[in-house]
Structure 1
Amino acid sequence: MADRVYRVARVLIREPLRALFPLQVMGRERIPERGGVLLCANHGSNWDPVLLGLSVPRPIHFMAKEELFRIPGLSWLIRGLGAFPVRRGTADRAALKTAVHLAREEGRVVGLFPEGTRRRPGREVHPMPGAGMVALRSGVPVIPVHIDADYRWRSPVVVRIGLPLDLTPWVHLRLSSREYTEVARAIMEAVYRLPEEGPPVTKVGSG
């Protein structure tokens, strides 16, 4: 059901959105054809999940704030698109477990914005430990994605997809929230390096 709704929605919005935001995607072939994947991206606009959905050949499951699931009609739509609820501003363990389950057990593509909120120009946003936890506990490839856009009408959007990150320095450690935050920060550093390295072969280390 979810995959069918997702694919129909993508077909319906592809051309109108491309007219609004001319889209260039680099590295689409780096998305595995099957198996669990975690896409971690920067976040500047509510358009970002839609832009990622058009950039990646497989359906993506995103977290969405739980308030949206209380709106009749919209709740049906976003569930049909594969989204699942998260309580923002809290360590929502249920949402994190859902993300891990979808990626590890069901072999799905899960999209995360590790900074947890939209990043405004000149504003520092700190990565959330939940993203690091999902990355390590799922055990699936973690792929950085950079969205370069100013979200103005007819302004080009460039989506750069990197290679999977090497998180092995953390895999066998007993981790706390602090270490999970370090993992999330390392992932975001790889995301923000993509425009310069275009996109790179990235190895993430703990030191």
Structure 2
Amino acid sequence: MSKNREPVESLILYYLFKWSIVSPMLHLYFRGRIYGAENVPTSGPLVVVSNHASDFDPPILSNCMRRPVAFMAKEELFKVPILKQAIALYGAYPVKRESADRSAIRSA
């Protein structure tokens, strides 16, 4: 996701959340380590595919990248009022899982 795709306010809040909450949680609570982040290009198209084993995976994955990350998220999550704003702010966009969602594919 390039910086010109996201409003400046969203990017500021994205990085604020990433560095004030997610990073300390990853390193202090989970004692996580990041290996190979220097191999991820900082600009240009990039598709990252990850197994999704817990609700913590998306924010932790974003913390391991040196660039903003946009996530496909099931559309049901966008029906939960507070969660909708939070995940949209964090760069998520809805995907309909029961059919080929061309809108989500275009967003990706």
Same fold (TM over 0.5): yes
- Which of 45, 48, 59 matches 2:68? 59
For 1:6-35, what per-residue CA distance to the aligned partner results, in whole angstroms no more than 9, with x for missing partners?
101112212133222111111111111211
Q: Aligned equivalents of 1:63 and 1:2: distance in 2?
A: 17
**Does 2:24 correspond to 1:35?**
no
**Consecutive unaligned residues in structure 2, runs of 5 or more:** 1-8
Q: CA deviation at 1:89?
A: 3.5
RMSD: 1.5
- Contact in 2 for aligned 1:25/1:55 (Cα 8 Å): yes
Q: Aligned equivalents of 1:75 and 1:46: distance in 2?
A: 15
Q: 1 or 2, which has the higher helix percentage? A: 2
- Contact in 1 for aligned 2:72/2:93 (Cα 8 Å): yes
- Contact in 2 for aligned 1:65/1:88 (Cα 8 Å): yes
Q: Aligned equivalents of 1:73 and 1:4: distance in 2?
A: 19
Where does 1:64-143 land on structure 2 (aligned, <5 Å)? Answer: 64-99=73-108
Q: Aligned equivalents of 1:74 and 1:42: distance in 2?
A: 21
Q: CA deviation at 1:55?
A: 0.8
**Consecutive unaligned residues in structure 1, runs of 5 or more:** 100-207
- The list of structure 1 runs, each at least 4 consecutive aligned residues, that deviate by more than 4 angstroms after superposition, is none
Please report the TM-score for the alignment, with normalisation by the length of structure 1. Answer: 0.45
Q: Give the fraction of aligned pairs with identical amino acids, expressed as a percent.
A: 37
- Contact in 2 for aligned 1:2/1:79 (Cα 8 Å): no
Please report the TM-score for the alignment, with normalisation by the length of structure 2. Answer: 0.81
Q: 2:10 is matched with which residue?
A: 2
Aligned length: 99
- Contact in 1 for aligned 2:27/2:33 (Cα 8 Å): no
Task: Quickly say closer, same or farther: Cα 1:55–1:47, change in 2 above 3 A.
Answer: same
Q: 1 or 2, which has the higher strand percentage? A: 1
The range that moved more, 40-49 or 55-64, is 40-49
